[in-house]
Each structure stands twice: as structure tokens, then as C-alpha cells.
Structure 1
Amino acid sequence: MADEESDRFVVGQTALVVPVPEAEPAVRAWRDRFDPAARAGVPAHVTVLFPFLPASLVDAGTCAALDEIFGRHPSFEVRFEESGRFPGVLYLAPTPDAPFRRLTEAVVDRWPEAPPYGGKYEPHPHLTVAQGQDDAVLDEIEAGLRLGLPFTARVPTVDLVAYDGTDWQHRASFALQ
């Protein structure tokens, strides 16, 4: 959920994310300080789709459709070996990233009214570590991150989270096959 406006989340926004608990030892201290999503309760993750539908439109039918969509995709392993950057953002790059892209494409095919990042950016699978910082700070964080790399993670689920005005709340998990 990284973009320059993610420190201004909107009540009722939702997102589909892949939690990556295996990343926490390497990124938690950095994310707690430099990632607004972490401070708002989102664990280390790779975003599948942000924003998704408004929370008021997410009902049992939406969840059933998500369950069916994600259930067609196999679970997979991913490795995090290196970092990358967008302007003002430091992230870890998942390898391979194609399974994440397929998950995003499948959801957008079903809900074209919910393009990734509101259509502002092309989706690029990543695990945000820090944002809104200058290059010197990002250089320092990046050097510290190298000590925790590489690591491998298993991806068995996609989670639906919703912003309540204070924190991102877990709403549902959808199993991959």
C-alpha cells in the first residue's frame, strides 16, 4: 500500500494483501518508524490490490467471489534477496513476482472499477519498508536491511483489510490452493 498518499488513509478503504510474517525480523523496526501502514496496524505484506472496493460494498457475495478467485491460484514460495526503490520509498523485491501479478490481474479482471493504486501507478509487487524519506535515510535503512536478507516466505493466503479511521482491521482471509 505504498504511495505518497498512504499516510492519509480514508475511512472505509479496503485492500487485498499477502501477509509476509517471515519478513518481520528483518523489517519490523524499520517499518514501525518509517511506514505509515505499519503504524496503522498492517503487518509486513505484499499488496495485491489497493484500494479495493469501499468497505460498504464488500459483502458476503464479494467475499465468496474473492474466495473463488484466489482458490484458483496455487500457493507458492517467494524469496526476498534485494531491495529496490520508488521515489521516496524503499522496498524488498519478491522473486518471483509473477504469482503476485497474476493475483492482481485476476481481481482487476473481476472488478475493473478498482484499478491498482486508483490507476495512478502500474502494479509492481513489493514489500514496503520505508516511505517519505530522503535518500540518505533510505541508504541507512537499506544497509541495515542487508543483514536480514535473504529469506524465503510461503504464500498460502490473501487477506482483506479495511481502514476504520484509526487502524487497518483484518476482515477475511482467502486460501490459495
Structure 2
Amino acid sequence: MAEDSADGHRAGETGLIIKIPEAEPVVGGWRKEFDSAAAVGIPAHVTVLHPFLPHDRISAQVLAELGELFSAHSAFDIGFESFGRFPGVLHLAPAPEDRLRSLTSAVADRWPEAPPYQGRFADVVPHLTVAYSQDPSVFDEIEADGSDRLPVTARVASVHLLVFDGTVWHERAEFALRG
């Protein structure tokens, strides 16, 4: 597959995310400006696993297995009370993290050929990306603007499978958590 976006995503690439629409009023404008994922159809979210299997490997059996896997996990509430930083990345930090980590581990254990972030990180830290920049003052400005609008709370009741078509990401399936 050829690279089809400035971010290096390829047509047919997939990912599993938890949408967090409750965060959009706080970070949506900043994401549009400083997170290219927003421009290609990815809403405010926490990644469960990216990249997942290539789209041409997503069969009815894989969809059924994902449904079973996620339905074994209970729905839960999370909160985003503060911003955090990785090198070049500003994010909202979810709490608690353990249930999010459990979802990622479950998928990665079932499909070891699709490790989170292609295995680039020893510890995958759940987060909601707000902005990419090498200028710390950008992050300072965003934090000053958004801190008084935190916390954001959300109910995690499903996981979404997204597919990149070479231009934008589309939802392929939604998998409900138990309860």
C-alpha cells in the first residue's frame, strides 16, 4: 500500500479507539489547529490499539471476535482532570488508566501481530492527544485556556474500529462493552 497522507498513514490502515465527544468543547479547536488527526476525521479519543490489522484482514470472524472480546469488559466512567506532556505531545490524562490498559492488552494479546504503536513503546500510556508541537509555549497556551474547563468526564461504553481510506478515517464498526 502506498503512503497516502502527510502523517504517513496508509489506505487500509485500521485502529481501535474510544470516542470522547465530551472533550471536544475543551480541546476541539486546539486539535483542529495542532493535531492533524482531527483534519482527517478522527474525533477526540483514547486509542485502544493502533495500528490494528490491515483492512483486508478484517473478516466477519475478526469482527465477531472483537465483539466477544469487548463484551467481556464492563462499561466504565473515566475522567480527564489534567493535561500531560510527552516529548512534542500535549494530551489529556485519563483516570483511572487500568481499564483502558486492560482493553489494549486484551486486543494485543489476541492479535500479537498487531502490537500497540507497532511495538515502539515499552509502556503504552492511555491518553487523549490534544496537540503536537516542538514549541512548549504552545502547550502552555492550550493548558491555560483549557485547565479551568476540566475535569471532563465520560462514560466508556464502546470501542470503534476506524479505517483510513487514503484521505479520511471512517468508522467500520462499533463494539459495545458489557452493561
TM-score, structure 2 as length reference: 0.94
Residues 8-62 of structure 1: per-residue CA shift (max 9 Å, x gap): 2111110000000111110100001111111110110000000000111011111
Match of 1:105 in 2: 105
Q: How does 1:2-13 map to 2 (within 5 A)?
A: 7-13=7-13
Aligned in 2, Cα 1:19/1:100: closer, same or farther, shift over 3 Å? same
Moved over 3 A (4+): none
Match of 2:151 in 1: 150
Q: How does 1:60-75 map to 2 (within 5 A)?
A: 60-75=60-75
Match of 2:131 in 1: 130
Letter paired with 2:32: D
**1:6, distance to aligned residue in structure 2 (A):** 8.2
Residues 133-152 of structure 1: per-residue CA shift (max 9 Å, x gap): 42111111111111320121
CA distance in 2, matches of 1:131, 1:58: 30
CA distance in 2, matches of 1:23, 1:109: 29
Note the aligned Cα RMSD (angstroms).
1.3
Letter paired with 1:96: P
Q: How does 1:42-61 map to 2 (within 5 A)?
A: 42-61=42-61
Letter paired with 1:76: F
Match of 2:120 in 1: 120
Residues 96-142 of structure 1: per-residue CA shift (max 9 Å, x gap): 01110000000011000100000001311000000134211111111
Letter paired with 2:97: D
Asked if 2 retains the 8 angstrom alpha-carbon contact of 1:12 and 1:56, the reply is: yes
How many corresponding residue pairs?
Answer: 173
Match of 2:17 in 1: 17
Residues 43-83 of structure 1: per-residue CA shift (max 9 Å, x gap): 10000000000111011111000000000000000011001
Letter paired with 2:126: P
Higher deviation after alignment, 36-45 or 135-144: 135-144
Match of 1:88 in 2: 88
Letter paired with 1:159: H
CA distance in 1, matches of 2:6, 2:57: 21
CA distance in 1, matches of 2:24, 2:157: 17
SS state at 1:173 partner: strand
TM-score, structure 1 as length reference: 0.95
CA distance in 2, matches of 1:48, 1:41: 17
Asked if 2 retains the 8 angstrom alpha-carbon contact of 1:35 and 1:131, the reply is: yes
CA distance in 1, matches of 2:160, 2:134: 28
Flag structure 2 segments of 5+ consecutive residues without an equivalent. none
Match of 2:175 in 1: 174
Letter paired with 1:40: V
Asked if 2 retains the 8 angstrom alpha-carbon contact of 1:6 and 1:37, the reply is: no
Percent pairwise identity:
54
